[in-house]
Amino acid sequence: LYIFGQQLIQSMKVQSTTTQQDDHFLIADYDYKSTNIEKNGDKYIAKPQITNFKFKTDTRIPKVGVMLVGWGGNNGTTLTGGILANKFNITWNSRRGTHQPNFYGSLTQSSVIKIGTCNTEEVFVPFKDVLPMVNPCDIVFGGWDISSLNLADAMGRAQVVDYDLQQKLRPYLEKLVPLPSIYYPDFIAANQGDRADNVIPGNNKLEHLNTIRKNIADFKQQNNLDKVILLWTANTERFCVEDPNVHGTAEKLMKSIESSHPENQCINNFCMCCLFRRMLIHQWITIKYYCSRKKAGVFVAGDDFKTGQTKFKTCLVEYLVGAGIKPKAIISYNHLGNNDGKNLSQESCFKSKERSKKTCVDDILESNKVLYPTEEELNIDHTIVIKYCPETGDSKKAMDEYIAEIFLGGRQTFAVYNVCEDSLLAAPLIMDLLLLCELFERIQFSKDSSEFQRFDTVLSWLSYLMKAPKSESGITTINALSRQRAMLENLVKVCAGLTVDDNLRLEVRYG
């Protein structure tokens, strides 16, 4: 057994001259090998280089609280109930038999990382064991919803979790009631109005913001928390009508909240609270407005959770382009029957969703100038259709057609039918976002012996989990799924003092 910070890690211990550890910190030295490219006429000159980095991880695990905006929705109830089922080891029956709780679909809890080889055998350990991470079962949950249903009744309304598990979770969930929230009906679909019975009264946006700030402070104090993470999992809001005088800087935005300007979404108010309290947020639709976010040190990762269809898209297109095959059209139909689908049936909300879904293959296509030598060719048919069909419930049907050009003008067509039990995919992913974001707040790096600094507030390391990830300014966003995963895995390994895997396996071939 190996004590790592306050957490007991049973799987591994790094023994190396390039890592140091005391009671609070693990410091790993890493020689990063990259290649600098210079252009000389029509030739590239490649110059390999090595840069020294140090990664310092605070190994003390904080007590974490999570506040969800939209707590009573499908994601909110599934996440809270799923974690409680794991925490109290609640089993339940369905027509398939007796089920044990698990965290399938969670990168941190249910996937593994190769840490090396033992003789010729590859050795893998759970992702969560490589660095000290918060145990999801220790998270305290809270949050807001415009609907007043307690979480047990809200879980029933969501129709996601097996009935028997709902009944077993009822004693835990019925005590959990969302706080009243900010509700600006103009920003979500009109069809959501009939559940909005739990709203902060009045039209004064500054008072709304102050109420939310107080809610957060109370939650932190009442639960004796070291850290609070706020995550938006409420309905997709329509974009605001952009106006640099209103949204151009954090100061202007604050002024517009003070004057209750109509073009401010609810999410803006929640984001402002984060800026005040230096908290972590993940779905930040209006990120570009917050010029002072660097100073505030709030982490953002991007828009929307990358669960079923988009994950598959960024995997399949990466495979095709990597194989030298040229995707020419992607036509995606979604039949969605949950409340999210109902909200998206209004065009203005759909437009926000369409934007987050549409850009996900751009960088993959752009990387291959053999297949796409001109801008025009990059403009492939990429169509997104979402239809609200209540009968589908949370079992979203994604029907995608991929048409690609192969050798000598031939065509390869994939017709993919993907039934995503949507919230059962989203909940573990949301949990990963929370856990990884918390971990990355405890990591600092130093380049060439400079002072240690925190990661950039735009946390592109988490792009694997985001439908429309964001990147630090000037840096290309990566959407290709395997690259996103490799980036995350390698970062965690490097911070732990492990070697990054280039898959050459020379130690096995010629060891």
Question: Active-site residue numbers?
Answer: 304, 353, 396, 467
CB of 284 to ligand NAI, least distance (A): 13
Euclidean distance between CA atoms 494 and 464, whole angstroms: 18
Instruction: Mark 80-99 with x for binding to ligand NAI (rule: CB under 6 A) and - for no binding.
Output: --------------------
Nearer to ligand NAI, 5 or 136 (CB): 136
Nearest residue (beta carbon) to ligand NAI: 73
Q: Which of 314, 281, 279 is nearest to 464 (CA)?
A: 314
Copy the structure tokens of residue 225: 């928390």
Q: Does 145 engage in binding with ligand NAI (CB under 6 A)?
A: yes
Could you say whether residue 14 binds ligand NAI (CB under 6 A)?
no
Query: Token pair 């879904």 is at which residue?
Result: 357
Using the minimum distance from each CB to ligand NAI, give the nearer residue, 304 or 318: 304
Shortest separation between residue 399's beta carbon and ligand NAI, angstroms: 17
Interatomic CA distance for residues 378 and 328, integer angstroms: 9
Q: Which of 282, 397, 381, 266 is nearest to 333 (CA)?
A: 397
Of positions 9, 28, 55, 74, contacts ligand NAI by CB under 6 A: 74
d(CA 1, CA 427): 31
- Confirm or reject binding of residue 307 to ligand NAI (CB under 6 A): yes
CB 262, min distance to ligand NAI, A: 15
Reported as type and span, the H/E element at residue 311 is: helix 309-322
Tell me: does residue 338 bind ligand NAI (CB under 6 A): yes
Strand 43-58 and strand 64-69: the pairing is unpaired
Give the CA angle between residues 113, 119, 123 to the nearest 5°: 15
Map residue 14 onto helix, strand or coil: coil
Please answer whether residues 482 and 315 qualify as being in contact, where contact means their C-beta atoms are separated by less than 8 angstroms.
yes
Asked if 176 is part of the footprint of ligand NAI (rule: CB under 6 A), the reply reads no
Q: Output the smallest distance, CB 345 to ligand NAI, in A.
A: 12
- Residue ranges in 130-162 assigned as alpha helix (H): 151-158
- What contacts 222, CB < 8 A, 6 or more positions away? none
Q: Which stretch binds ligand NAI (CB under 6 A): 145-153, 249-257, 448-456, 500-508?
A: 145-153
Shorter beta-carbon distance to ligand NAI: residue 75 or 477: 75
146 near ligand NAI (CB under 6 A): yes
- Write the binding mask 179 to 198 for ligand NAI: x where contact by CB under 6 A, - elsewhere: --xxx----x------x---
Q: What residues pair up with 126 in beta bridges, in sequence order? A: 112
d(CA 183, CA 171): 29
Identify the residue among 129, 153, 303, 340 touching ligand NAI (CB under 6 A).
Answer: 340
**Residue 227 host element (H or E):** strand 227-232
Q: Which is nearer to ligand NAI, 339 or 460 (CB)?
A: 339
Q: Based on CB atoms, which residue is closest to ligand NAI, 297 or 393? A: 393
Identify whether the C-beta of residue 68 lies closer than 8 Å to the C-beta of residue 231.
Answer: yes
Q: Which is nearer to ligand NAI, 12 or 182 (CB)?
A: 182
Given a contact cutoff of 8 angstroms between Cβ atoms, the answer to whether 12 and 130 are in contact is yes
Kindly state the number of chain residues that form the binding site for ligand NAI, as judged by CB under 6 A.
31
Indicate the residue among 54 and 282 with the shorter CB distance to ligand NAI.
282
> Which long-range contacts link 413-416 to residues 24+ away (Cβ below 8 Å)?
414/316, 416/312, 416/316
Build a one-symbol-per-residue string for 378-417: x at contacts with ligand NAI by CB under 6 A, - elsewhere.
----------------------------------------
426 touches ligand NAI by CB under 6 A = yes
Provide the minimum distance between the beta carbon of 358 and ligand NAI in the complex, in angstroms, as a whole number: 14
Q: Which is nearer to ligand NAI, 147 or 314 (CB)?
A: 147
What is the rounded CA–CA span in Å between residue 324 and residue 327? 10
Residues in contact with ligand NAI, shown as a per-residue x/- string from 19 to 58 under the rule CB under 6 A:
----------------------------------------
> Interaction with ligand NAI in 209-248: which residues (CB under 6 A)?
233-236
Contact between 304 and ligand NAI by CB under 6 A: the answer reads yes
Taking residue 7's Cβ as centre, other Cβ atoms within 10 Å add up to: 17
34 Cβ contact partners less than 8 Å away, ≥ 6 residues apart: 48, 49, 51
Q: Considering beta carbons, is residue 274 or 321 the nearer one to ligand NAI?
A: 274
Report how far residue 406's alpha carbon sits from residue 327's, in angstroms, rounded to the nearest whole number. Answer: 9
H or E stretch covering 244: helix 244-247
**List 26, 30, 61, 72, residue binding ligand NAI (CB under 6 A):** 72
Using CB under 6 A as the binding rule, whether residue 432 contacts ligand NAI is answered as no
**Is residue 320 part of the contact set for ligand NAI (CB under 6 A)?**
no
Q: In terms of CB distance, is 339 or 490 closer to ligand NAI?
A: 339
Which of the 8 DSSP states describes residue 146? S
Q: Is 174 exposed, middle or buried (0-12, 13-18, 19+ CB in 10 A)?
A: middle
Q: Confirm or reject binding of residue 266 to ligand NAI (CB under 6 A).
A: yes
153 binds ligand NAI (CB under 6 A): no
Binding to ligand NAI by residue 339, rule CB under 6 A?
Answer: yes
Residue 293: C-alpha distances to residues 52, 231, 248, 288, 468 (Å): 28, 17, 13, 10, 19
Contact 309/332 with Cβ under 8 angstroms?
A: yes
Tokens of 226: 């070291």
Binding region for ligand NAI (CB under 6 A): 69-70, 72-75, 144-147, 181-183, 188, 195, 233-236, 266, 304-305, 307, 338-340, 343, 422-423, 425-426
